[in-house]
Amino acid sequence: MENIVSLAISLAYILLVLGLATLVARIQGGRSEYSRKLVHILVGNWVFITPFFTSLWAVALVPFTFIIVNALSIRFHFFKAMTREHENLGTVYYAFSMFALSSAAYLLGWKELAFIGLLTMAYGDGFASLVGGRWGKHHPFSFAREKSLEGSITVAVAAFLVTLACIALIPELHSDLKTTFYSWQYGDSVSMRIFIAESILIALATGIFAAFVELTGKHGCDNLSVPIATGLFASLLLRYGSIGMTLYLLVALAILIYAFRKSAITADGIVAAELTAATLYAFSSIWVAGSLLLFFVAGSMVSKISNSRKRKGESRQADTGARNWKQVLCNSLPACVALWVSHFSQNTNTAALICFSVFAAACADTFSSEIGMLSSGKVLNLINLKSVPNGTSGGVTLLGVAAGIVGSALLAIPSAGQYGIRGFFFVLVLGFFGTLIDSALGSTIQQRFADSRGELMDAPAYPRQRATVGIAYASNNAVNMLTLIVICISAYFLKGLVIP
């Protein structure tokens, strides 16, 4: 009965919001930014109804319905008060964020995941557009010239206040912040001061992070990235935060900012990397968390080594610039998923071994590719051993093979701190095995295009060119992720060689 009542209240509330927005639009003489932002801000308040649902299907039904309704509205303009004349998928992303966060919050029991994420999107992102449009005079962000400093401050303040409110109103977060709620009642002034200080620092970090994520969002994607990234970041800090985690994230951020200034990573890549770092530290050991930083630093360094042969080889490849969020996720998502699954199944020791193997394989592939292209020797297709041009996916050189072994050995070093010498050799072998898998997949299933001479290359020779060989849309990023998934599975089934 509670679910039916909550669904009825949800429907009534959404209809009320749409009615108000339609009225505002008519007063404004048709479509207006004010009516759109009214919907954007008020719809987010639906999250206050979610605690009254008692079943997953019920809490997910409302946002799932609006994913479909919003998609149809973009096509047929059902709700003109909430659409632009040239609409992107922002409203669909908004509904999907509501669906993903409310469902995840219900399953995990993390109320703050939905509240912080969705309310930051509603109030922060909603008011940022209005504030920036009216008072935005400063545009200091080179990667987001259309965004204003005033709008970013609005996002940060909203996320800061929402996070503080959640800390104050969600009791289970108090013990997670290392200070019990009961200490307030018993007048423990020291514990109260610690609690307040921790709360403010976490809220401040969340606000700054949310503002940065909003800056990276393009074409309505901030309705997806801001709530999910902010909710996840804040939840990890609130439930697993410590002095060690804070220092680690600051070190990671410093490295990422330096890499950004050197054009080694994009702004959205920083968001993905910082979330990955938070996940690794929260759910695993310092050895695993450190391996991520080691991989990023080592990979970035070898990527900068160049000569004429490598530059020619890179001209045949796609996505050779700074690492973006897709590349970061394709190299880290399998490890993060393994940690999430293992954390809630109480099997973190196995997950750590999987993570070491994944990063060793990713590093081996990076070393093999980046250093291998420097070679003046023959480049052979790993499958048929025929000669191919330098830079062709699936091609290997003796120098590249040797570099792959070095890269895998480098990332195997942290595993020795947790698993000893047996773990080191396990990760080294599996990591090098990963670069061979990547080359095999690159020469078979990865999409490649023919140039004017009929030679294969990763990047299309002209717009809308169809792949000559391989599977359409199977890019290098997709091959990397598939390779690391194979390494995850292999490490899981072979873990007995290291873990008794």
pLDDT in tens, 371-419: 988 888 788 888 888 888 887 787 888 999 999 999 999 999 999 988 9
In this predicted structure, what is the pLDDT of residue 347?
73
Domain-embedded: residue 215? no
Domain-embedded: residue 482? yes
Least confident stretch, 234-248, 258-272, 438-452: 438-452
**Cα 362 from Cα 433, distance rounded (Å):** 11
Least confident stretch, 27-31, 33-37, 308-312, 390-394: 27-31
User: Comparing 40 with 294, which gets the higher pLDDT?
Assistant: 294
Nearest of 368, 416, 412 to residue 394 by alpha carbon: 368
In this predicted structure, what is the pLDDT of residue 70?
80
In this predicted structure, what is the pLDDT of residue 119?
96
Give the pLDDT mean for 38-64: 91
**pLDDT of 279 higher than 90:** yes
SS3 label, residue 398: helix
Render pLDDT for 256-270 as a digit per residue (tens, 0 to 9).
999 999 888 999 999
% of the chain at pLDDT higher than 70: 92
**Cα 91 from Cα 82, distance rounded (Å):** 8
Least confident stretch, 15-19, 35-39, 124-128, 276-280: 35-39
In this predicted structure, what is the pLDDT of residue 29?
63
% of the chain at pLDDT higher than 90: 48
Nearest of 193, 208, 202 to residue 165 by alpha carbon: 202
Give the pLDDT mean for 99-124: 95
Q: Cα dist. 452→83, 310, 448, 456, 469 in Å?
A: 44, 20, 13, 10, 15
- pLDDT class of 310 with cuts at 50, 70, 90: confident
**Cα 496 from Cα 500, distance rounded (Å):** 6
> Which amino acid belongs to residue 346?
Q
Give the pLDDT mean for 82-102: 79
In this predicted structure, what is the pLDDT of residue 122?
93
- pTM value is 0.88
In this predicted structure, what is the pLDDT of residue 31?
55
In this predicted structure, what is the pLDDT of residue 146?
85
Give the pLDDT mean for 220-243: 92
Range of the domain at 325: 242-270+284-500
**pLDDT of 76 higher than 70:** no
**Cα 107 from Cα 435, distance rounded (Å):** 36
In this predicted structure, what is the pLDDT of residue 291?
93
Interhelix angle 325-345/476-494, rounded to 10 degrees, is: 20
Domain-embedded: residue 181? no
In this predicted structure, what is the pLDDT of residue 311?
83
The DSSP letter of residue 462 is S
**Bridge pairing between strands 380-381 and 395-396:** antiparallel
Furthest-apart CA atoms within the chain: distance in Å: 80
Render pLDDT for 155-191 as a digit per residue (tens, 0 to 9).
999 999 999 999 988 887 766 665 444 444 445 566 6
DSSP string, 304-318: T---HHHHHHHTTSS
CA dihedral 245, 247, 249, 252 (to 10 degrees): -140
Domain-embedded: residue 400? yes
Interhelix angle 2-27/56-76, rounded to 10 degrees, is: 30
What total of structural domains would you count in the chain? 1
On the 0-12 / 13-18 / 19+ scale of CB atoms within 10 A, 268 is buried
Least confident stretch, 10-24, 41-55, 418-432, 484-498: 10-24
Nearest of 329, 378, 348 to residue 484 by alpha carbon: 329
Domain-embedded: residue 410? yes
Residue burial 132-155, b: 16+ Cβ < 10 Å; e: rest: beeebeeeebeebeebbebbbbbb
Domain-embedded: residue 304? yes
Q: Is 473 left (phi over 0), alpha (psi -120 to 50) or beta?
A: left
User: Whole-number mean pLDDT of the chain?
Assistant: 86
- pLDDT class of 278 with cuts at 50, 70, 90: very high
* Cβ atoms of residues 173 and 206 within 8 Å: no
Domain-embedded: residue 134? no
In this predicted structure, what is the pLDDT of residue 79?
58
In this predicted structure, what is the pLDDT of residue 210?
95
In this predicted structure, what is the pLDDT of residue 77?
64
**pLDDT of 43 higher than 80:** yes
Give the pLDDT mean for 202-213: 94
In this predicted structure, what is the pLDDT of residue 333?
92
Give the pLDDT mean for 29-44: 75
In this predicted structure, what is the pLDDT of residue 174?
67
The DSSP letter of residue 395 is E
**pLDDT of 451 higher than 80:** no
Give the pLDDT mean for 220-239: 93
Domain-embedded: residue 78? no
Give the pLDDT mean for 441-469: 79
On the 0-12 / 13-18 / 19+ scale of CB atoms within 10 A, 473 is exposed
Within 13 Å, how many C-alpha atoms sit on residue 329's CB side? 9
Give the pLDDT mean for 286-303: 91
**Cα 285 from Cα 297, distance rounded (Å):** 19
